[in-house]
Amino acid sequence: MSDRYIEKSFLVLLVLSLLLHVGAGVLLYYLPEKAPPAAKEPVFVDLQQVPDQKLPQQPRQQETPRQSEQRVRVPRETAPRGVDVVDSEASRSPRPALRKSLPTPQARPHQEMPRAARETPVAPGSSVTGLLKPKTSTSHSLSQAQLYPGASRMAKLEESYRRKYESDIAEGDTRFLNSDDIQFGSFLRRLENSIYGVWRYPPEAAMQGIEGITPVRITFNRQGEITAVKLLESSGAKVLDDEVFRTLRMIGPVGGFPKGYDKAEFHLIAFFQYGGSRRSLR
């Protein structure tokens, strides 16, 4: 097969392919477009009124026919009075005979001993006389007042403590915890938050209602660390004082001193108050 024949066959096939493509394009161009389906119009349907559902009627109680149209008063029927079985048995059972009461012996008149005979003779200068005298409850009353002072007495006690330590405040390096000092305001607030985080009311003291105030003097260095704690007055209960020292040992540094304070130490007087199962720091 010669090259010329192959070339003619290729040209014929190319022309046929071109004609087919052109014919298909013309056919697609002249074919009518398919019309979109018409939108369906809503159909309105008349609904008949639905009859109300009737509830089943309860059967009526049949009335008893009256024998007479006139009202007649009927005598009241009463049952015959019976005899109680218990009463009848009790009446039939014989009653026990009463025992004769024996004469009780007459009580002898109490012979009162003379007062001089009842008292034990004690020599006037003997040390036994001090033991026989009734002891006064002064120590007991003092301990009770110290352990259970009450709200008004605790307020007076705190006020007396403040007047007592006002001279320390005048030195300039000591403050009360609830003072309105603007310079140490932020420092004191941080200290309060740290104390309230670990301080608690001892359960044994709260159950017994033991109250009191423990004033302490706290010394800080410039890093805000507690270097010394001094008990100024005892609350009267060791368990309350020990809780204050435990709390101050638990807290860490509370931050440095303000920039305007140039001293190496700072002293603070705080009142740890226990009362009514609550605690307040002042």
3-state secondary structure (DSSP) of residue 128: helix
Maximum average pLDDT range among 29-33, 113-117, 139-143, 248-252: 248-252
Helix H or strand E segment including 176: strand 174-176
Residues in the chain: 282
Distance CA 277, CA 275 (A): 6
**Structure confidence at residue 230 as a pLDDT band (50, 70, 90):** very high
- Measured CA to CA in angstroms, residue 275 lies from 96, 200, 212, 278 at distances of 70, 12, 7, 5
Using one digit for the tens of pLDDT, what is the confidence trace for 167-187? 777 666 788 887 777 888 888
Q: What is the set of domains in the chain, with CATH numbers?
A: 146-281 (3.30.2420.10)
pTM: 0.47
